[in-house]
Structure 1
Amino acid sequence: MSHDAVPPRASRRAEAPKRGRKKERGRRRGLKITLGVVLVLLLAGGGTAYWMYQDLDGNIKGVDINKALGADRPEKLPTTGQNLLVLGSDSRAGAENKELGGGGDVGGARSDTTMVVHIPEGRSEAVAVSIPRDTLVTRPECVASDGSELPEKKREMFNAVYALAGPACVVKTVEKMSGVRIDHYLEINFAGFKDLVDAIGGVTVDVEEPIRDEASGLGLTAGQHKLNGTESLAFVRTRKGVGDGSDLGRIGLQQQFLMALLKEIKSQDLLGSPATTYKIANSATKSLTTDEGLASLTSLSEFARSMNGVDPSSMETIMLPVAYDKQDPNRVVATEPEAGELWKAIRTDGTIPESAKKSPATGG
């Protein structure tokens, strides 16, 4: 991997149109791998011995979302398909983070990437809505991670919800802001990708523009780079080295990395190498937390099979329309009526308006 010096980034406004085009390409790639981990588990579960199955099955952590949320939730309509909340969590704690150099928040995990994946009933199209972690939202009443009661709070940063109150409160917050009933929850721990990347021998990414992030020590020239586990962690975490330094540029990089990861896994001769298959599946399952309905290889496999009709080439990922907050330029807020129209289309299984696919903060 090259670490050549790169020139400083231009101003936010000057780069906005180019970033918009770049992120649009990244977002369209993203949903092709939204269920990627599920598909990997399906493949791995199909050829392992029973004792291996039990071992892998025990890796998956389950959270009883339905019990935690109770009855105060959006109505589940019979013709609205499936809605899956996919969350990429990240923690700066642990020895692996010391290898990255630079600081970071080590106080606990954060929800670095969040997507509401909508899979229409009986159709091949699907769509995912990415919610930027810096979005200011109204957090509803929730139970904190320590068991205490958290009152409703306006202008809470979205990724702080996970840190304060965990997965159930994230689901509740998303349901309150969107009116969309979430059927399943799938959390992928980015730190777990380190072992997974090393298990498959690295992941190759194409860098469109040079990246230099002094905080993580990541330096990449434009071009192709094969990243090991530690470098991959820095790649999915970097924000200061791309775009205007906000979370919006990082969204595209994370989705690009996940796409490259799945491509690399698919290129491996898994059926011809049970040991490699198990090593990869073991790393993948250790990275997963799901709702109770998906908390086993059997459940994940059944869910993956139910999605067989979904054509990846027809999938699309949209970023929630946001603009920079007028009070705090380091935060973004959902723009109306575009955000409301987007959520309505998801709720009713309708056509998403073109206006809802554009985010002012990205320049289009």
Structure 2
Amino acid sequence: MADAVPPRRPRSVPRLLGLTLLGALLPGTGLIAGGRRRIGALILILTLGLVGLGVYVGLTRREDVLAASVVPSRLLMASAAIGALAMLWMAVIVASHRSLRPATGGAVGRAVGALFVGMLCFAIAAPAAIGVQSVLAQRDLVQDVFVAQGEGKSATRPTEIDTKDPWEDKPRLNLLLLGGDDAPSRPGVRTDTVIVASIDTKTGNTALISMPRQLTFMPFPKDSPLHEIYPNGYGQEGLSLEGRLEWMLTAMYQNIPAAHPGILGPSDNEGADVLKQSVGEAIGLKLDYYVQANLKGFAELVDALGGITVNVNERVAMGGVSSSHIPPSEWIEPGPNQHLDGRHALWFARGRYGADDDQRQIRQRCAIKGIVDAADPQTLVTKYKAIARAGQQLLRTDIPQELLPALVELGLRVKSGTVSNVHLDASKLRLKYLHPDYDALRDTVEAALEQSTPPATTAPKTTPGTTKPTRKPTTIATPAPTQDLVDACAYHPDGDQPN
């Protein structure tokens, strides 16, 4: 009965607006002040409970929240929950104001109150709408880029995964990162960027292995159908330099599927499957999944992030053709902490005029580091819709949706771990010659990964994450160490890179 007989209501407009605001900031208090104590107390208790639950989850279950953010069904429920909570919150504000409003009042006071309530409701509806759009954009991104485990076609993707703990018996996750030059103005696709990211699943420490684009006679595993066709690797003897171009690593993505369609089995991306097998054999690792980015999407992603910040240690050409002696029309000038938009970041990563592949590979790794650094929580929250839209245009991958929650948790370890470069001595490994020393390359990568991995407390298990070829170690100079990208991407105005 207490709710049916409200106490004396406030008569002044300032007090009315103040209590309405209090009821909006702490739902339930306005109803209590307006005499509707029972329903107000219930809403207040529910509000405090939801706030407490949110604080608890944010402090103790952040990994679970992030894991849920890549599950389409949970994202759909989250968007519905955001919309429902916003509607209920606005209904409470309106009800609070009506219970607080004087039984009699002037038209001006009523108009001011209605305007104030409308502003409060808009302050809730606008961010709620952005939140729903961002959640649905994330759902679209997950569904468009990542396929379910039983869907899609891949000749090299693992057939089974343990979704509860996929890293239990897997010390390293090996990802093939491909940068393709696909564009409407270009026939076919060449992979100018081929990088392997080998991630320690316990610590998140990541080693990046950049493969020179001009490698020839790339090998294949002995159990691959391509090994039967190219037992000595993908290449031909006696060709001129121009003739070798179609037999280099950069051309394999396009040329091998064109020459041998379907040879590895049903696949949605035959070129990526070919490179997973060949690059993995060349460095002695079994590559689990690939992530492929195109040039147009890269620029859009950088713009969506608001740009990236990198150190520029030498002039970088924006265009130009060295072989035809056509100079570039623009340059990115040297300097520390250069903030680049998408167009300039793309040229920073791929500018070729007057630069060799080693310089480009360093810049590509630094561009990746710049993207990781730019993807801070504030940027992701405020610009996520644009980031997700760019991601849909940017990415192709065979990573299954079921693995995404575990990958999100691993991504947090990568964010707090170290990202290093495995330095490959081009001279000792003969990387710029017709027949690279792939045995020495495997030894170098193996030694570098052992250096970057903390000593195990128990005997390591044999896992499908890496392969150990049965061969005699090749005698080379001291294996090249890993190099932290913080040092590699620092500003060196004298042009000297740290060793």
Regarding TM over 0.5, the answer is yes
SS at structure 2 position matched to 1:93: coil
CA contact (8 A) 1:83 1:181 kept: no
- SS, match of residue 451 in structure 2: coil
Are residue 134 (structure 1) and residue 238 (structure 2) matched? no
The alpha-carbon deviation at position 79 of structure 1 amounts to 5.2
Matches within 5 A, 1:325-344: 334-335=436-437, 338-344=440-446
Aligned-partner residue type, residue 84 of structure 1: N
Per-residue deviation, 1:267:
7.0
* Matched position secondary structure for 1:159: helix
1:52 to 121, 125, 137: 137
* 1:108 alignment counterpart: 188
State the alpha-carbon separation in 2 of the partners of residues 317 and 311 from structure 1: 16
1: distance between equivalents of 2:207 and 2:145?
Answer: 26
Change (3 A) 1:290 1:259: same
CA contact (8 A) 1:338 1:355 kept: no
| Partner deviation per Cα, 1:211-265 (whole Å, 9 max, x = no partner) | 3453353412222543332222222211224xxx321110111122222233233
Shift of 1:287: 1.3
What's the Cα RMSD here?
4.1
The answer on whether the counterparts of 2:316 and 2:331 sit within 8 Å (CA) in structure 1 is yes
| Partner residue, 2:479 | 355
Shift of 1:68: 7.8
**CA 1:190–1:88 in 2, change beyond 3 Å: closer, same or farther?**
farther
Aligned length: 291
Q: In structure 2, what is the equivalent of residue 157 of structure 1?
A: 248
Unaligned segments of structure 1, at least 5 residues: 1-37, 71-76, 96-105
Equivalent position of 1:32 in the other structure: none
Secondary structure in 1 matching 2:292? strand
Asked whether the 8 Å contact 1:119–1:127 carries over to 2, the reply is: yes
Q: In 1, are the aligned partners of 2:156 and 2:273 still within 8 Å (CA)?
A: no
Q: Within 5 Å, give how 1:1-20 maps onto structure 2.
A: none
CA change 1:150–1:85 in 2 (3 A) is farther
Is residue 331 of structure 2 the alignment partner of residue 219 of structure 1?
yes
Mind listing any 5+ residue stretches in structure 2 that lack a counterpart?
1-65, 79-130, 160-166, 236-246, 258-270, 322-327, 453-476, 484-496
The residue aligned with 2:60 is none
Deviation at 1:289, TM superposition (A): 1.5
Asked if 1:84 is matched to 2:84, the reply is: no
Displacement after TM superposition at 1:55 (Å): 1.9
Tell me: CA distance 1:69–1:86, structure 2 relative to 1, closer, same or farther (3 Å). Answer: closer
Mark the CA change 1:187 to 1:300 in structure 2 (over 3 Å): closer, same or farther: farther
Aligned to 2:407: 303
Counting only pairs closer than 5 Å after superposition, residues 27-42 of structure 1 correspond to structure 2 as: none
Contact map agreement 1:84 1:186 (CA 8 A) in 2: no
Which has a greater percent of helix? 2
- Report % sequence identity: 21
Q: Which residue number in structure 2 is paired with residue 99 of structure 1? A: none
- Compare the two structures and name the one with the higher strand fraction: 1
Q: Paired residue for 1:265, among 365, 372, 375?
A: 375
Give 3-state SS (helix, strand or coil) of 1:117's partner: strand
Q: Sort the Cα spacing of 1:43 and 1:138 in 2 relative to 1 into closer, same or farther, 3 A.
A: same
Distance in 2, Cα, partners of 1:200 & 1:334: 39
AA of the residue aligned to 2:348: F
Query: How far did residue 42 of structure 1 move?
Result: 6.2
Q: Distance in 2 between matches of 1:67 and 1:225?
A: 40
Q: Distance in 2 between matches of 1:57 and 1:356?
A: 38
**CA–CA separation in structure 2 for the residues paired with 1:43 and 1:209:** 43
1:167: Cα distance to partner? 0.4
CA contact (8 A) 2:141 2:391 kept: no
CA contact (8 A) 2:295 2:346 kept: yes
- Which one scores higher on RCO, CA 8 angstroms, separation ≥ 6? 1
1:283 aligns with 2:390: yes
Alpha carbons 2:137, 2:389 under 8 Å: kept: no
The corresponding residue for 2:362 is: 252
- Computing the radius of gyration from Cα coordinates, the structure with the larger value is 2
Q: Which range moved further: 311-320 or 124-133?
A: 311-320
Q: Does the CA contact (< 8 Å) of 2:70 and 2:142 recur in 1?
A: no
CA distance in structure 2 between the aligned counterparts of 1:309 and 1:196, rounded to whole angstroms: 23
- In 2, the alpha carbon distance for the partners of 1:262 and 1:68 equals 25
- What is the alpha-carbon distance in structure 1 between the residues aligned to residue 181 and residue 405 of structure 2? 28
The 2-side partners of 1:132 and 1:67 are apart by 23
Contact 1:132 1:320 in 2 (8 A): no
Deviation at 1:345, TM superposition (A): 4.1
